[in-house]
Amino acid sequence: MACDSSAALAPHRQLPAEQPRTERALGSHSPIGQCPSELSPLLVMSPAQEPTPELLADPYESFMHHHLQYYGYFRGSLMLKAALLKSKQLLFNHLEGPGVPRLREPRGLFAVPTSRGPLQAPRWPVECEVIKEQIQHIEWVPPEPEPFYQPTGNEPAPLIVGEEKGTVVYHIKPVAKGSYFTCSRVGGARGPITSPAISLEGPEDTTLLFESRFESGNLQKAVRVGPYEYELTLRMDLYTSKHTQWFYFRVRNTRKGITYRFSIVNLMKPKSLYSMGMKPLLYSQRDAQTRGVGWRREGGDIRYYRCSSEEGQAMYCLTWTVCFPHDHDTCYFAHFYPYTFSDLQRYLLAVASDPVRSQYCKLRVLCSSLAGNTVYLLTITSPSQNPTATAAKKAVVLSARVHPGETNGSWVMRGFLDFILSDSPDAQLLRELFIFKVVPMLNPDGVIVGNYRCSLAGRDLNRNYQTVLKESFPCIWHTRRMIQRVLEEREVLLYCDFHGHSRKNNVFMYGCNNKSTPAQRLHERIFPLMLSKNAPDQFSFHSCKFKVQKSKEGTGRIVMWRMGIPNSYTMESTFSGSTLGRKSDSHFTSEDLKSLGYHICDTLLDFCDPDRSKFLQCLSELQELLQQQIHRKLKDLGRGQDSDGAWSDISLSDIESSTSGSNSSQSDGLPAHLLSVAEKFHQKKKRLRTRKERNELRQKYASSQGVTCQEKTPVAGERRLGSPTCRTHQPVSAAALCMEDSCGKQGKTPEAGLISDLQRREPNASQEEQPGLGAKWSWHTLHGRKGSSTLAHSASTVGTSPCRSVWWGPEQPAVTLLLSRNLFPRPQLPGRRAPVGPHTLKRSQLQHLLPPRQVTWSLLEFQPPCAEPERRKSPSWPQ
């Protein structure tokens, strides 16, 4: 080809120093697009001129011209440079137009749901087997309220039969005790999955077929103990030994008109809403397909009771009966309306694909979880006309599903997002006033595997908001950092984390008492009180608590409160239903919880209304309510009421009970993979004994051994260091006073520690009286100075009694090291792991033992009876 673009076909050149900064600094990885290294080296950009008409007259040259023009050549004064192909930051998508380059996405931007691609597949720990079938349920609202179950008192409490007398019909292998999360992958375990359910013997076999190896499922074992009776065991939270409350599983091969009984036998909470009329949820796939009926409350003979005890842990049983609506149907049971990670992604995909909602809802990735699943962050606000208006906006931070089994938090979040992203005038006003930062699912890993409370670190994330372990708790670490950045820019008016509660009905909040600013007293209670007025059939203000407990200092609401957010709350929604107003004694539906999201927005407008009449009215009611509580408290204490009704000197914590959240003490602290490391460095310390206690112990030991010693009056200036058996009767120097080490043993000075070691290993009197058990001790005394490299040596055998005194005078100070041999193991010297003999002692080990003057070094060696004294050369001092 003989065209003027031959220079463009030259070999690759170096990129000029004035390369644009964006081409050098942006990330170089993207899951989409063609790799630049796969492009032809002919694609270069350099100054070039349009080919002359003479060249284009040649058919071959004309063909090549049009061919290269399709790829972006001859489209101006510049052509593609070969040097740019060395950068992995440019992509060429020919669907957008010939030769149109674009920058790759930075590596930190993980896959965000868009209409152009599929949803991100959930990542599972490699220990989990996962079926390929995608589970999805329709949303449906019952036309009539679903009442609580009314106990009769005659509900049976079946005895647990177990595998010995029953037949295991479903069993998945549990995670090994003491294991921890290592890696994850899409689809879970490698290789073909096993079949944990038994096979049917024929069409007449009525055995139910169980399955739970799907998102949020957690059934571990099913035992058939009767023709239509099953005992179920739930899988505990992965890498823990507790937390069983949430359940979600599937059954097939049902029979219509037959009463089945199910009993979950390893629940751990002593109290449950099932004792107060709550019913399990049932979903029939045939009803959903034919009648459009979704989840509904079903069950009879419901009873919650204590059934057994395993390894010191009390176990509780939930039993109920149910009749399936169809033969050979596929049905699901659940503790509450499921809301999976895939459900969230489908919703976010619909938002991102909506051209209207996507204008004021920006979807970003907050971080990646331990298993590599995406934690999404939504920023919702209306575009401002100028930066000043943007800076004046306050922020509102909302989050949900830090506890994966509390799906009611996701339904409240869903209702909030539905309203705030709508075209309602109130929603538009809120978007103009505030910037909403929303984390809809804080613990996607736990949601995927079906945990009730913990993440894959085996820990309760809502007790670790103060953590510095970014790699072990990335979701809450990044959430806290995000809120810190928002606080640096603007005021955060409200923080609220959506939860579920398993022991109380209605919806309520936990907040934090404001003690620092008297002018703000009771202001943290105004928002919950307003919410109770806006949702009187659902929200109970009397169930709200505002006490800051030490055991809850790692929760999100307390950490954010200490960061400077006075209105910091945890909103608890019941798994059961309401005892208020028109909805009294009926279960909540998913639509009821979604309506709470709207009421939060409505209350936010009331809370920030420029007309302060509602605000002041609620504050007045709170003051009156608080006075009544204080008067009742004083009456209970037998004290008279103040004449003026003063209450400002009364602590709010004194009149308020503690929050009734779940006990997660066994799920606090370090993640599971660091526990074995921590045990080596955090050994329990015992209380230090006083000198009086130590002296009493010495006297008790001396009296028990029947030891006596000859007193000797020391000369002036001398100190006396007792031998192992007569030290009790000697004055104790300050250097030899006992201390306690981390192992609980009496720690002493280095030489006294060795004496104590020999003292513990010394044969008792009964042993010495037996033939063949006598002992001889050899004293090896080395003389020298601190700076000398050799020491003079002398030895003597002193018989069977090891009771000897070493005198320590001002002119001849001594250090006594007693090293046992033969029958007794050698003691460990301070700072050494392995026991050492006198011939291996190094100068550095004795520097802190040697006095500044001449040293007498006495070695006491144990020898077996009837043995010749061991002759040894004088040990040299290693250099």
Residues that are catalytic: 572
Give the three-class secondary structure for 315: strand
What's the rounded Cα separation, in Å, for the pair 667 and 781?
57
Strand order through the sheet with 313-323: 167-171, 219-226, 229-234, 259-267, 313-323, 300-310
Work out whether strand 568-574 and strand 492-501 pair parallel, antiparallel, or are unpaired.
Answer: parallel
Among residues 436, 415, 208, the alpha carbon closest in space to that of 331 is found at 208
What's the rounded Cα separation, in Å, for the pair 148 and 278?
6
Question: Is the CB of residue 322 less than 8 Å from the CB of residue 298?
Answer: yes
What's the rounded Cα separation, in Å, for the pair 560 and 557?
5
Which two tokens mark 30?
């993207």
Other Cβ atoms within 10 Å of 482 Cβ, number = 16
- Integer CA distances (angstroms), 838 to 468, 860, 874, in order: 46, 10, 10
Other Cβ atoms within 10 Å of 55 Cβ, number = 18
Among residues 433, 432, 438, the alpha carbon closest in space to that of 401 is found at 438
Question: Is the CB of residue 63 less than 8 Å from the CB of residue 51?
Answer: no
- Find the helix packing angle between 590-607 and 408-420, rounded to 10°: 50
Question: Is the CB of residue 863 less than 8 Å from the CB of residue 827?
Answer: no
Which two tokens mark 647?
């209450």
What's the rounded Cα separation, in Å, for the pair 506 and 581?
11
What's the rounded Cα separation, in Å, for the pair 572 and 465?
18
- Integer CA distances (angstroms), 626 to 531, 544, 645, in order: 18, 13, 11
Beta-carbon contacts of 874 under 8 Å, excluding residues fewer than 6 positions away, are 782, 790, 791, 792, 793
Contacts 24+ apart (CB under 8 A), 795-799: 795/869, 795/872, 797/863, 797/869
- Integer CA distances (angstroms), 720 to 10, 674, 693, 726, in order: 94, 48, 22, 11
DSSP bridge partners of 577: 587
AA letter at 706: G
Which residue has 């009879």 as its token pair?
300
Measured between its terminal Cα atoms, the distance across the chain in Å is 81
Helix, strand, coil % in the chain, rounded to nearest 5: 30, 20, 50
DSSP string, 226-267: ETTEEEEEEPPSTTSS------EEEEES--BT-EEEEEEEEE
